[in-house]
A and B are shown apart, each in its own frame.
Chain A
């Protein structure tokens, strides 16, 4: 059974930093591209970032480019999101998601809540 479990969400002040983690199991982690998607309270889905199976390619939404860094450790079946210079508008539930070979997102974690507030 595929499982994705996010962690690391906390309350942080504007300008602060945070690292989210996603522990994956139930599939061959290093075969798949992985994504972060976020959802602000009461709002829709917003794609954040993706990383290729080997970490060689990364892409970001303009809203986080230069502040967030996606990475993975295939030896630990883990995905990460380093978040710097956090803003109040980064407040959201952050999901990690597994991509299919064609790119749609077939498995999602339950999310970890990041609150940016003074």
Chain B
């Protein structure tokens, strides 16, 4: 079993839809949870960063962490074609100069 599991998709949705992206993990020592967005042929960029269980909202994006279930989610409201990208979850055991473990990424396609 991989430490971080993420469905690669692709996930195709119409513009304006609510998107739900998810990851599960097995290492209970993970404390920091991140979502990265990666456009084709580019490096990943950090979208959301959470430490504890619960929800964190930033504009159209909401990150949710359920440590008891070892399950994290990223919700995108009012999805736009420009949201089309690969979304990678990542998690680590400590902050500072940490080395996160990445999921394989979910490819999202938002069509007009």
- Are A and B bound to each other? no
Using CB atoms and an 8 Å cutoff, list the residues of chain B in contact with chain A: none
Using CB atoms and an 8 Å cutoff, list the residues of chain A in contact with chain B: none
